[in-house]
Structure 1
């Protein structure tokens, strides 16, 4: 941009200009790491590396699929009908993408958006590299951030900047719309009503009764290995160096096959040009040597490939990746090559189970927070009644069997206690379906849900 243009232009180039006085609290080391995590996942080009194996994608997708293989979420109390019809289907629709974005960037958010016309909620996942964190609470929870949303319309680029702040009154949202010709800058500020989809937004809106910044947070529960701050890190943050090594090894292996192709070696006198510039032998195919006076004319060069050496090195890198990320042996490489000892395999399965439990716990915390926000927003927008809702008591989340936990075996042992008269069947059913059971009212609800015949018999008596 020219000096004169800069002097007379109203264009803005950063969120700090749009919201004076705010500063990004993320360290330079964390910003670089976040960019690298997303670059590795999306296969950004790196000199002398071949990312064809897409290891970050493989790890994230397998963790996500396995963690949710037997996942079930249900609202069992409070505003059951409201959540079943207006929230749960769309929360489940956004779940996979939100969890994967969190595993990649270490942190992600779900933005519940009330759709009054449809009387339901939409959920928009927000990734870490698309927000600027202004402030965090001591525990790492974000209390102030700026996010951006871009729209192309009529040959122009519109950017909506949204700042969300936590306050004692509720979540405060500041919205500003900017327009530029090419997207190289934010451009000039425009009225929010310039785009129809933002016409209903207010420049500043306070959502009374809505906790925090009005977003449900997903944070990978791993200690920060980048700068030691409270910023969450990618599930493969500690393995970044190994991933680069694997990609470099893959590039070198490809070069080995290229260099190992048969070539014709010619003596140097066969590769000179004449004064008339007549065609000479292609130096990509021919190599000139003068070391051996006997080596004149043409000979064939076909070296032995070092394929096994590169493959062995890659196998070791993959084993190290599995160890660092806490995933079971053979998930990234060959199972047969990884099964060194039964103890090692059992240990890796245990680590994998704990890693999956971390992923499940991350989503469970986010899901309960999202449902609580939907209750608060539902009351604010009059989409639901004011009856109480407790996401800890009124929500049931089941994960099925794990590697270290066999739910079917545990259920058989529980039923043996019921048969022996050592445990009430209502309590056993409450354990099975993750329901409260400590009060007579809780047990009465379990009987009504799962023991109707017994309830009828009790009523007849």
Structure 2
């Protein structure tokens, strides 16, 4: 499977940091198998690959868009909450893009830190951190975050390790220097790198109950390693289908290219240039043929099999929608003529479940982020002590339960507020003319 996908992508993984390198540096294993590490590499390459239909990016974008659409969240309470909320709103304002990265690559970390008396947040994608430990609930309790730096042709790497042991939280920083991008190099004092000179080599914080970062993990079951708490991409169950769609797209383009209209005429019908070659009015349109008939002229205009190819596209798209938890019509052409009412309702319910599950995952990550911000606020005495609460409001137009919406519109029809044909337009996706014809309106 892995090699087939790599051939499809047409390039090998060029990442600098990998599981083996981290294991050699740390002198111990990390909590991710070689198989999962390879899959993370595949998901990243598919997401960043700009050829073909770019479906991996489209799926990740659409999932993140629906999950974060009109998301409203704030920290409420006293002076402490006001201080936290000021930093938190900067996260909420730009949350869609980090969530998209998390959806694509199987996870994303929001890690707060203090700079110049204020709280800022780093967004670390799945290929930028390495989990080292989990608790019994699957929550990350240990991780290494990688920060690269290139200066004057020298490659520097900072490894920031977090460990939660009981209620003691340990953070350590190590720096490495290399003259080759493909190697982490040798360890150097953290203070020897100007950009990191103010960072402590180690820090221990007491009375900490959760990791000091929020980890967003897409609500997709890990079918590769069911016992692993490592997150997977939202398109993990559609990798081969995405490959099929790109192949179908190539065939579709070739169908149009090979079927371009051409006018074929006797070579003698055209004037010659100085080299004796026929002078064609349009080289793309006109073709020449050496035949005895001086008046020979033919038009080449084959029938384009657009409908057949479009139908093939839609079948693949619908299976991708199903495997990714989308409603039919998210990627495919919306055509409900061949779907029963129950199939359509089930499709919409599937999308509702997918969105709400991912919203819960995002809510949990944001709650953990605010908790971490509060710990740093206390440690640096940035604001008075005080309780806080985090409120969330997601857009109901996307995550609304279609069964409830169906019942509401049904009552509108019964009360004469909504016309039956309007109901059919909403439910079946029919145009106005078709809907009125069916109900006789």
Pick the TM interval, shorter chain. Answer: 0.7 to 0.9
The change in CA–CA distance for 1:131 and 1:84 in structure 2 (over 3 A counts) is closer
- For residue 345 of structure 1, report the CA deviation from its aligned partner: 2.2
Secondary structure in 1 aligned to 2:220? coil
Question: Which residue pairs with 1:428 in the alignment?
Answer: none
Secondary structure in 1 aligned to 2:165? coil
Q: Is the 8 A contact 2:172 2:202 kept in 1?
A: yes
Question: Which residue pairs with 1:82 in the alignment?
Answer: 83
Q: Is the 8 A contact 1:97 1:125 kept in 2?
A: no
CA distance, structure 1, for counterparts of residue 343 and residue 97 of structure 2:
33
CA distance, structure 2, for counterparts of residue 232 and residue 263 of structure 1:
53
Q: Is the 8 A contact 1:156 1:180 kept in 2?
A: yes
Q: 2:400 aligns with which of 385, 398, 403?
A: 403
Question: Which residue pairs with 1:193 in the alignment?
Answer: 191
- For residue 245 of structure 1, report the CA deviation from its aligned partner: 0.8
Question: Which residue pairs with 1:384 in the alignment?
Answer: 383
Q: Is the 8 A contact 1:211 1:373 kept in 2?
A: no
Paired residues for 1:289-438 under 5 Å: 303-336=302-335, 340-387=339-386, 389=387, 394-401=389-396, 402-404=399-401
Question: Which residue pairs with 2:123 in the alignment?
Answer: 125
Question: Which residue pairs with 1:216 in the alignment?
Answer: 214
Question: Which residue pairs with 1:111 in the alignment?
Answer: 111
CA distance, structure 1, for counterparts of residue 322 and residue 262 of structure 2:
42
CA distance, structure 1, for counterparts of residue 350 and residue 172 of structure 2:
44
Q: 1:22 aligns with which of 25, 28, 31?
A: 28
TM-score normalized with structure 2 length: 0.73
- 1:286-313 alpha-carbon deviations (Å, 9 max, x no partner): 9xxxxxxxxxx99987654433322211
- 1:302-327 alpha-carbon deviations (Å, 9 max, x no partner): 65443332221111111111222221
CA distance, structure 2, for counterparts of residue 139 and residue 160 of structure 1:
29
CA distance, structure 2, for counterparts of residue 337 and residue 40 of structure 1:
31
Please, what is the CA RMSD of the aligned residues?
3.7
Q: Is the 8 A contact 1:210 1:377 kept in 2?
A: no
Secondary structure in 1 aligned to 2:330? coil
The change in CA–CA distance for 1:205 and 1:123 in structure 2 (over 3 A counts) is same
Give yes or no for the alignment of 1:99 onto 2:99: yes
The change in CA–CA distance for 1:248 and 1:338 in structure 2 (over 3 A counts) is farther
Q: Which segments of 5 or more consecutive residues in structure 1 lack a partner in the other structure?
A: 1-12, 266-278, 280-284, 287-296, 411-461
Q: Is the 8 A contact 2:219 2:354 kept in 1?
A: no
- For residue 249 of structure 1, report the CA deviation from its aligned partner: 0.7
Secondary structure in 1 aligned to 2:369? helix
Secondary structure in 1 aligned to 2:120? strand
Question: Which residue pairs with 1:253 in the alignment?
Answer: 252
| Number of residue equivalences | 370
CA distance, structure 1, for counterparts of residue 50 and residue 138 of structure 2:
29
Question: Which residue pairs with 1:37 in the alignment?
Answer: 43
The change in CA–CA distance for 1:223 and 1:36 in structure 2 (over 3 A counts) is same
Q: Which segments of 5 or more consecutive residues in structure 2 lack a partner in the other structure?
A: 1-19, 265-276, 278-285, 288-295, 409-441
